[in-house]
Amino acid sequence: MCNARFNALLPDIVDRLCPGLSFDDYLHLVASSRHLGLPPGTTRDDWIAMRKRRHNERHFALVQGMAEDRWVQVSEQRTRDGSTAILQTEVTDLIRAERQERGRMLDDQTRILQATLDHVPLGVCIFDGRLQLLGWNANLAEFLAIPRTRLRRGMHFDDLLHRLRTQFSFPAFQGANRLSDWVRSVRRKDSFKVEAARGGDGRSLAIFAQELPDGGFVMSLDDITEQRNAMQAIRRANETLESRVTERTLELEDALASAERANASRIRFVAAVGHDLMQPLSAATLYIGSLIEEVDNAQQRRKLENAQRSLDSVSSLLGDLLDISRLEVGQATLTIEPVSLGPIFEQLRQEFAPAAQQKGLELIVRPVRATVMSDRTYLRRILQNLISNAIRYTDRGRVLVVARKRGDRQLVQVRDSGRGIAEEDQEVIFREFKRLDVKASAAEGLGLGLAIVERAASLLGHGLELRSAPGRGTTFAVELASTRLGDRHPAEENGTGPQIAERELKLTALIVENDAEMTSALSQLLEQWGVEVLDVASGEEALALLEETGVEPDLYLVDYQLGPGMDGLSCLDLIGERSMVPPVRCLMTADRSDALSREVEKRSIELLHKPISSEKLASLVFPALGIQDGMG
C-alpha cells in the first residue's frame, strides 16, 4: 500500500502504483518517471541497479534529486515480518538553504584565498583543467609587466606563456616548451621547476608549477634576483679565497719544507756535535776516574769527585738533548716486544740507590713478576726519568716504585713523598725546558726529563697518569699492556743470555779506538784494575793483530765510528765469528739512535754510551765477566 503524499511525488505514474506490484516492477516504474532526476552520467539501469544493491541493506537512506530542482530523502526500513517500508520526505527547502550557505562560505573562502594570494611575495596564478585562468594575485602582473586589465578570468595559459617567452630566457634543454609540455600532459609529474632570466634588467625568476586534484594546476613565480646576485658574489669571494688559500698553502708548504730541512740539519748537527763532544768527555771522565783511584788526599779526592759529577751532569744533558731531538721529529724506531719488568726494576734499583742514599731517602723498588708489551729501551728511559725526577724533588721520606694489575694491564707507579705539584702546573711540567724550581742549576737538568717521558709514552701508546697536590707528594703511573709470559725474561727463555764462567782476575782487553786520548784514558783505568790492555786504531788492525798473534782477548772495547774503513759493529761481527770462546764485546758510541741500539741488542753486544764513566765501565764489563767487584 501507499498513501497519497507518496503518490503525489511522481504524478505521471500514480495510476500504476497499486497493491500487488512487485519491488522490481516498482523500481522500473519509478525509473520511467520523467520527474526522477538522475546524476550526470547515470542511466536508468544504473539507478535501478543501485536501488537493488541498497535494498539488500536492512536500513538505508539517500537524497534523491527530482525534476524542477526538487529533492526527496528516501529511506527503507525492514519490518519484523520481512516486509519493507519506504519513506519519502521532500527536503527541497533544506537543500536550497544549504546551497545558499555553501555559496556564502565559498564566497568567503574565495575572498580569504585572494587576500592570501595578494599577501604572499610570489606571483601566483591558478588554472583549471581546461588551462583557463581561475585566479591570480597582483604580484603576477608586476613580475610579468602585464597591465592588470589584461588579466581576466578565463584567460588561456598560452597567453601567459607568450609573455614568459618574450621577456625571459630559459636554460638549455629546459625551455618554455618543456613547461608547455608539462601543462598539457595527461599524466603530469608532481611538479615542474625552472629558472628564467630577463636580459634587460637582469631579473631572475624561479617558476614552480604544481598539479591540483581537479586536473588544474597552480603556478608561482619567485623573484630570486637578489639571491642570484648574492650567490655570484659568494662564488667570486670563494674563488678569490681559494686563490688566496692556495697561495698561502704554497707559502706554508715552503715554510714547512724549510723548517723540516732546518730541523733535519739541526738533528744531524746535534748528532755530530754529540759524538764530537762525547769523545773528549769520555776521555776526561775516565782520566778523572783513574785519578780518583790514585789520589789518597781526601780533599783532592772530593774535588775530583765533584769534577766527575759535573762531567756526569754534562753527559746526562747531552743524552737528554739527543733523546728529545729524536722524539721531536719522530725518528725514534721502536721494537714492541715482550719485556720482563723484573730485571728492569732491579737495574733501576741498583742505579738509583746511591743517589737516594746520598739525599737520605728510602728507595723502595718492589719485586715484580710481570711481562708487558713495550720497547725495552724507551720503557727503561721513561722509568729512569720518573725515578730521577722523584729523587730530585723529594727532600725527605721515600720513593716507591711498584707495579700492580689493572684489569688485563699493568700499572707501573713511581710515588714520592716530595713537594707535590699544584693543579695549574700539572700540564706545564711536560713542556720542554720547563722546571718548577727555577732556581735549580743547569747541572740538575734542562727540564727535558718529563717531556721525554710524555713523548715516549705517547709514541709507545702507553697511558700516562699524574696525581699530585702541594705538600702531599706525587704519583706518576704508566699503563702497559700485559702478556702471558709470566715473570721470565724473553732472553732467558731462549737461552740467549750471556753465560760467562768465572775467570781469573788476570784479564786481557783489546781497545779499538781511533782517538788517542780516549785510548789512553781507557788503558790507564783498565790497567789499574789489573787488566792487560792491547790497543789498535782501526778494525782492520784489530783483525790483523788477532790473526798474527793468535791471542784471544776476554774483553773487546770497540768504538763505533772508526773513520775510513769498517765501523765498530762490523769489526765486532767478525771478531765474534772467529772466537772459539764467546768473548765480552762492547761497542762504545755517542750515537744514541734506536736503530743502532736494535742492532747491538740483536747481536748480544754490550752498549756503552759516551761519555763512559769508570762506574759505568765497571758495572757493565765486570759483572758480564763474572767478577762481582771490579772496582776493588
Q: What is the mean pLDDT of residues 127-135?
A: 88
Q: Is residue 95 part of a domain?
A: no
Given a cut of 50, whether residue 504 has pLDDT beyond it is no
Query: Per-residue confidence at 631, pLDDT binned at 50, 70, 90?
Result: very low
**Residue 253 within any structural domain of the chain:** no
Task: Tell me the average pLDDT across 335-340.
Answer: 85
Distance (Å, whole) CA 568 – CA 540: 10
Do 309 and 191 reside in the same domain of the chain? Answer: no
In the structure grid, which three cell numbers stand for residue 431, read together? 713542556
Q: Is 598 helix (H, G, I), strand (E, B) or coil?
A: helix
Q: Tell me whether residue 109 is in a domain.
A: no
Separation CA 518–CA 522 (nearest Å): 6
The CATH number that applies at residue 218 is: 3.30.450.20
Q: Which of 2-11, 38-47, 179-188, 596-605 has the lowest mean pLDDT?
A: 2-11
Across 528-552, average pLDDT: 83
Q: Is residue 101 part of a domain?
A: no
Mean predicted confidence (pLDDT) in 121-133: 88
Domain C-terminal end among 188, 223, 258:
223
The pLDDT-based confidence of 501 (bands split at 50, 70, 90) is very low
Sheet holding 59-66, edge to edge: 59-66, 70-78, 84-90
Nearest CA to 209 out of 225, 173, 185 is that of 185
Beta strands 531-536 and 507-512, pairing class: parallel
Tell me the residue range of the domain where 50 lies: 4-90
Residue 504 lies in a domain: yes
Cell 778523572 maps to which residue?
A: 288
**Pair (63, 185) in one structural domain:** no
Q: Within this chain, do residues 427 and 439 fall inside the same structural domain, yes or no? A: yes
Q: Would you state the cell numbers that stand for residue 115, as one nine-digit string?
A: 587576500
Examine the domain organization and report whether 309 and 420 are in the same domain.
no
> What residue spans of 171-224 are helical by DSSP H?
176-184
Whether residue 238 lies inside any domain: the answer is: no
How would you classify the pairing of strands 584-589 and 555-559? parallel
Residue 528 or residue 118, greater confidence: 528
pLDDT at 559 (0 to 100): 92
Looking up residue 544, the CATH number of its domain turns out to be 3.40.50.2300
Give the pLDDT score at 49.
92
Domain match, 433 and 547 both: no
289/388 same-domain check: no
Per-chain mean pLDDT for the chain: 78
Does residue 614 share a domain with residue 520?
yes
Q: Which of 225-229, 289-293, 607-611 has the lowest mean pLDDT?
A: 289-293
Distance CA 489, CA 477 (A): 22
Query: What is the percentage of the chain residues whose pLDDT exceeds 90?
Result: 4
Tell me if 255 is assigned to some domain: no
Q: Do 161 and 290 have their domain in common?
A: no
**Residue scoring higher pLDDT (108 or 6):** 6
The DSSP result for 472-492, as a single string, is S-EEEEEEEEE-SSTT--HHH
Show which of 190, 223, 256 is a domain's final residue.
Answer: 223
- Nearest 5 degrees, angle CA 310-CA 619-CA 580? 135
CA distance 555 to 509: 4
- Given 461, 493, 525, which residue is the final one in a domain? 493
Q: Which of 26, 4, 8 is nearest to 84 (CA)?
A: 26
Same domain (yes/no): 576, 562: yes
| Backbone φ and ψ of 367, nearest 5° | -60, 150
489 lies in the same domain as 583: no
pLDDT tens by residue, 66-84: 887 888 888 888 888 888 8
Q: Indicate if the pLDDT at residue 379 is higher than 80.
A: yes
- 407 & 484 share domain: yes
Selection from 378, 457, 456, 366 nearest residue 414 by Cα = 366
508 in the same domain as 472: no
**Helix, strand, or coil (residue 281):** helix
CATH number at residue 382: 3.30.565.10
What does the alpha-carbon distance between residue 107 and residue 101 come to, in Å, rounded to a whole number? 10
What values do phi and psi take at 529, rounded to 5? -90, 5
Please tell me the total count of domains within the chain. Answer: 4
Residue 237 lies in a domain: no
Is 207 within 8 Å of 219 (Cβ atoms)?
yes
Round to whole Å and give the CA distance between 557 and 545: 15
Q: Which residue has the cell 516492477?
A: 25
For residue 441, pLDDT beyond 80: no
